[in-house]
Structure 1
Amino acid sequence: MPISSTFKLSLAHINDTHSHFEPTSVSLVIPEVNIKVCLDTGGFARIKNTVDSFRKQADESDCPFLFLHAGDCFQGSLYYSLFKGEVNARLLNLLGLDAMTLGNHELDLGNTPVAEFLDHIDFPLLAGNWDISNEDIGKSNRLTDKEKLQPYSPNEKRANIIYKDFGNTRVAIFGICIDKMAAIANPDDDTPFLDATTVVRNTVAYLHSKAIKHIILLSHLGYEADLEMANAIEGLSVVIGGHSHTLQGDFSAFGWESEEPYGRIVSDTVVFQAGCHAMFSGLVELEFDDTGKVINHTGGNYLMIDTDFHESMSIECEGRAENITDAKRIAKQYLEKQNRIILVNSSNEISEILNNEYRPAVLEMTSDIVTQVPSRLRHVRIPDEDGGSCIAPLVCDAMLYSARSRGNTIDFAIHNAGGVRVSVESGPLTAAEVAGRLLPFEIDIVKYKATGSQFREALEGAINNATNNGVEGTGDGSYPYLADLKFDYDTCLPMGKRITTLLFRQNNRWTPILGEIWYTAVSSAYTTKGKEGYDALNHRQNDSMSIGVTLSESFIEYARTKFELVNVADSECHLYHRQ
């Protein structure tokens, strides 16, 4: 009988970095002494130094090494708001990635930003279920011409694949994105996304037909979908995932609830994910048998903090520490012993580039106070027992203000709850807070037309989607918030009849919306394309046109000139839950 052989691979991974090039502040709890520690974690400079050390360790032990990114590098911080994909391409190149898969937020503004990103990266971008074979030949910057893109192969009905040869072992890597991309992002109509499961199954079958057994799927589907994929398709060795921001591993030593073990095994496939926002680096040592099955894996997700973290950390004491100095000493000793923490220097080429070329513009926005907020403005996506979002209606007011101040006649505004990201605390509100955290998605505001019936259908569709009421929704971010429009929604009525009242403000009076009358509204470009239940707004006669301002720009100009607390009850949205 032939002697079976094993193959070892060291694999580092990150996902959903969302332009968080700078460190992120987090709170850790030291349970034994009731000390809460606030310190900076992660950031691209620390990722680079950490992964460089991983790579060096692998080289010293003569172990093959890979570094993969599972998508969503765009959006999420002021760096993206100000510099779009330029800074991502530049810094990701410096990280030394072997490959990255496409995330949904890469397509928030259509295909063009991805095409421009591909012009500047030096690693492959994997999108194995993205069919670009019928791309419009008239486009000025076509995806079809990009050597770094590995899309769907229509002739073979599978993903394009990259290969890494390590001695006698060939490792295959391919990437898959959310197949409902058109529902949550803005891919161009001529480049659809195909069913993820079908493409993965076909790709694995192709690889097996070529006697290639060591197969890595780089996925931007979300953790639950990754587990389902592993269960459904035999022959995947490893799934490196993203999208759901799942942090695997035991971080209970810091007072964090553990979500999942690091490396979830499902039907002989091991699934990994590494949180989000560049705070963690995952590293796994994999051992495969000659069939491609992972027979052993060790490693974990690591929280990266600076080697001199104790000098900048802040402390809250509730335990036996007698003073702050004592507490810092205890915290330092405790954290230095934790095996889920890596102490790493944050100085290198990346930090120099950020400091010298990009951070000055960010700091300028950080010091730009646009208004004073008198009391906390809570944000929730779906109204609860305490009411709805207080900040989302203000975002809608800002959209109206920006459109009308530019000479547009607008009846009302609609915005999806997921487009607003955080609550706003009382005190000074800076341009950085607005563009970097509150409204970080750089999406245009557009004016458009629809009939009263279409608006009624869109609002119900968005709420049905957000609440999974009769449909399999894509998330609660679709819930609508409004300005100069209000409705009642009855959860128990038949689909199509759940909006029982729909009124808009006309000459300071609430007036019924009539089914066949055309109205003009403003929303984000995302919403008007019919995403996440708003299908009725995406029709041939909607005449959508950008007003020339993004969501964050609109809110900043509104806050500077006409900021006031809305009477939330005056723009209320009622959800009736009958027993």
Structure 2
Amino acid sequence: MILRRRLLITLSAGLAAPALRAPAAQAARRVTLLHLNDFHSRHEGAQASAASCRTEAPCLGGAARLVAAFHAARAAAAAEGRAVLALDAGDQFLGSLFYTLHKGLAEAAVQRQWGVQAMAPGNHDFNGGPEVLAGYLRALGAPLLAANMDIAGEPALAGLVTPYRVFTTGGARIGVIGLTLENIPQVSSPGPNLRFTSGEAEVARAIAASRAEGPATTVVLSHRGLAADQALALAVPGIDVIVGGHSHTLVTPPMVVDGADRPVRIVQAGAFGRWRGRLDLDLAVDGRVVAHGGGAEEITPAMPEDPATARIVADFAAPLDGFRNQPVARSAGGLENTTCRLGECAVGNLLADALLAAVPGADLVLTNAGGIRTGLPAETITMGDVLTTLPFSNTVATLRLRGGDLLAALENGVSTPGSGRFPQVAGLRFTWNPAAPAGQRIAEARLTSAAHAGPVDPERVYLVVTNDFLRRGGDGYAMFRDRALEAYDAGPPLEEALAAHLRRLGQVVPRLEGRIARR
């Protein structure tokens, strides 16, 4: 009989009973893992909608409160006789003007304040290329762990990245192995010299190497998302804990998976610095986990700030204020980005309209929902809000494309609902069916605002507006790279196109027009 792997019932926030597998080993060492993931440069916090903070709206997270929460958790663990290891599962970069202007130095300064000891790279940590990442790592002073990234051909990262690191803390040996996404070249900008693999074989090799000099507890520091972490736990023997990121999932209390040869604890602390993660571990002499507890703590406006971190944030914020406080328009609200990866959204329509206006004579716009990092606030919209919404420094790109390839692009966009590739459009309406077979999800597509209005003709050539990330094949849009008949990537920055459109409008009225319909 074939037995299916299963999820075990997760245990309460108190220290778990040690009888996860029989016979239970006697606990010999006590360790606490403090963890963070997907901070995305949110030093000043964010509203629950992910929009920028405003004085009249409660603001969650924030670097100064987050650091204070780390300090409090560290002190509490020490009082309980627990040694502490502080880990970051990646995506520190991108999401506010702090990254736009300072290219990771603000993030490194705050991480030093909460005492990070190792980090796995997230996909957005490559957005500035290897040189920006290298400058950040030198400022950080902690190792970047990436077992499935080959840096041999990239001199900028020489000496800054290692597959794993063994930490000895509280008498315990903790082998921390880093993993990142294998499709980094498709979703970010790592340059031509880095190579990425799936990672399972590399994790197995790193486990063996980390235990060559004695028993160790294996922690995989993963920026691949919860589903991939669960699959890894089932596939690779020897993993004790996975500290995850990328999917922005709040996994608290810890999830326990019946892994390849032992129970695997999986944790993840949401995103944007809104939670500080804590996982308490009782360890046997052989490194196996005999009990666990802890959970993520939400960072609320009522929590204290760390004064030193508040000063650091203020220093990095000072040069941003004059620029980002410039008003560009007013809005009645309703411009959240929370539904843009599933269907039509008002802020997606606004951006697509702005790109269509930026290229006179274009037939249509197709841009990715993942590029819309936050919503836009009600009342006054400032340049800072625009830059926070569009933080990637992407440019307006154009290409001429046959209708058949346009339909393939739409198919790619809806192939993974909830992902960043989901299309936001202007000059185009389409209907899609998520239950249809792959390749047949687009039921209808019609142009609406051009000389070629009507059903998409597979043989006709259309002038398409997008962004340079998609035009170069990002988010699976390989047809924009490989099938373009004529392409130009060096248009104005997206944020400038959106700001110009907002200034022309003056007053924004959010609209849903049926551009994207679901069958």
TM-score by length of 1: 0.74
Once residues 485 and 464 of structure 2 are traced to their aligned partners in structure 1, the CA distance between those partners, rounded to angstroms, is 10
Indicate how the Cα distance of structure 1 residues 203 and 87 shifts in structure 2: closer, same or farther if over 3 A, else same: same
Instruction: Indicate how the Cα distance of structure 1 residues 209 and 52 shifts in structure 2: closer, same or farther if over 3 A, else same.
Output: same
Q: Deviations over 1:259-287 (max 9, x none)?
A: xx245354422222222211222233321
Alignment partner of 1:354 is 2:321: no
Alignment partner, residue 290 of structure 2 = 295
For residue 9 of structure 1, report the CA deviation from its aligned partner. Answer: 1.6
Q: Which has the bigger relative contact order, CA under 8 A and spacing at least 6? A: 2
- Tell me by how many angstroms 1:188 deviates: 2.9
RMSD of Structure 2 on Structure 1 (CA):
3.3
Aligned to 1:420: 372
- Residues 172 and 212, structure 1, Cα contact 8 Å, conserved in 2: no
Corresponding letter in the other structure for 1:417: A
Q: What is the alpha-carbon distance in structure 1 between the residues aligned to residue 73 and residue 298 of structure 2? A: 14
Pair 1:277-2:282 in alignment: no
SS at match of 1:19: coil
8 Å contact kept, 2:257–2:266 = yes
Is the 2:240–2:263 Cα contact (8 Å) retained in structure 1?
A: yes
CA pair 499-247 structure 1, distance change in 2 beyond 3 A: closer
In the alignment, structure 1 residue 389 sits paired with structure 2 residue 348? no
Correspondent of 1:89 among 108, 125, 138 = 108
> Is 1:120 aligned with 2:139?
yes
- TM-superposed CA distance for 1:191, in Å, is 1.8
Which secondary structure does the structure 2 equivalent of 1:269 belong to?
A: strand
Q: Is the 8 A contact 2:103 2:136 kept in 1?
A: no
| Equivalent residue number for residue 161 of structure 2 | 149
The one of 199, 203, 223 equivalent to 1:200 is: 203
Confirm or deny that 1:18 pairs with 2:13.
Answer: no
Question: What is the deviation of 1:193?
Answer: 1.7
Question: 1: distance between equivalents of 2:33 and 2:462?
Answer: 55
Aligned-partner SS, 2:149: coil
Shift of 1:289: 0.5
Alignment CA distance shift 1:43-1:49 (3 Å): same
Return closer, same or farther for 1:492/1:344 CA change in 2, 3 Å cut-off: closer
Larger radius of gyration: 1
Q: Give me the whole-angstrom Cα distance separating, in 2, the residues matched to 1:457 and 1:123.
A: 43
2:304 matched residue in structure 1: 344
- Does residue 457 in structure 1 map to residue 479 in structure 2? no
C-alpha displacement at 1:392, in angstroms? Answer: 1.2
Once the two structures are superposed, residues 229-286 of structure 1 have per-residue CA deviations (whole angstroms, 9 ceiling, x without a partner) of 223322112221112222244xxxxxxxxxxx24535442222222221122223332
Specify the SS of the correspondent of 2:313. helix
Give the structure-2-normalised TM-score.
Answer: 0.81
Partner of 1:174: 177
Q: Is structure 2 residue 507 aligned with structure 1 residue 561?
A: no
Deviates more, 1:192-201 or 1:13-22: 192-201
User: Which residue of 1 is the match for residue 99 of structure 2?
Assistant: 80
Q: Which amino acid aligns with 1:187?
A: P
CA contact (8 A) 1:108 1:443 kept: no
Q: Structure 2 counterpart of 1:221, which letter?
A: R
Distance 1:282 1:566 in 2: 37
CA distance change for structure 1 residues 263 and 108 in 2, over 3 Å: closer, same or farther? same
**CA–CA distance in 2 between the matches of 1:497 and 1:263?**
36
Query: Equivalences for 1:515-554 in 2 at 5 Å?
Result: 515-539=458-482, 544-554=487-497
Tell me the SS of whatever aligns to 2:464: strand
Provide Cα deviations, 1:468-503, integer angstroms capped at 9, x if missing partner: xxxxxxx44322222233445566776546556555
The counterpart of 1:376, out of the listed 334, 345, 350, is: 334
Contact 2:85/2:169 (<8 A) preserved: no
Within the alignment, does 1:101 sit opposite 2:61 as a pair? no
Kindly state the Cα deviation for residue 512 of structure 1 after the two structures are TM-superposed.
5.6
SS where residue 344 of structure 1 aligns?
coil
Do 1:26 and 1:40's aligned partners in 2 also have CA atoms closer than 8 Å?
A: yes
Matched residues in 1 for 2:383 and 2:249: separation? 30
Aligned length: 484
Superposed, 1:325-340 pairs within 5 Å as none
Question: What is the alpha-carbon distance in structure 1 between the residues aligned to residue 118 and residue 208 of structure 2?
Answer: 22
In the alignment, which residue of structure 1 is the partner of 2:398? 447
SS of equivalent residue, structure 1 residue 234: coil
Q: Gaps (5+ residues) in structure 2?
A: 1-24, 50-55
Q: 2:189 corresponds to which residue?
A: 186
> C-alpha separation between the residues in 2 aligned to 1:39 and 1:425?
13
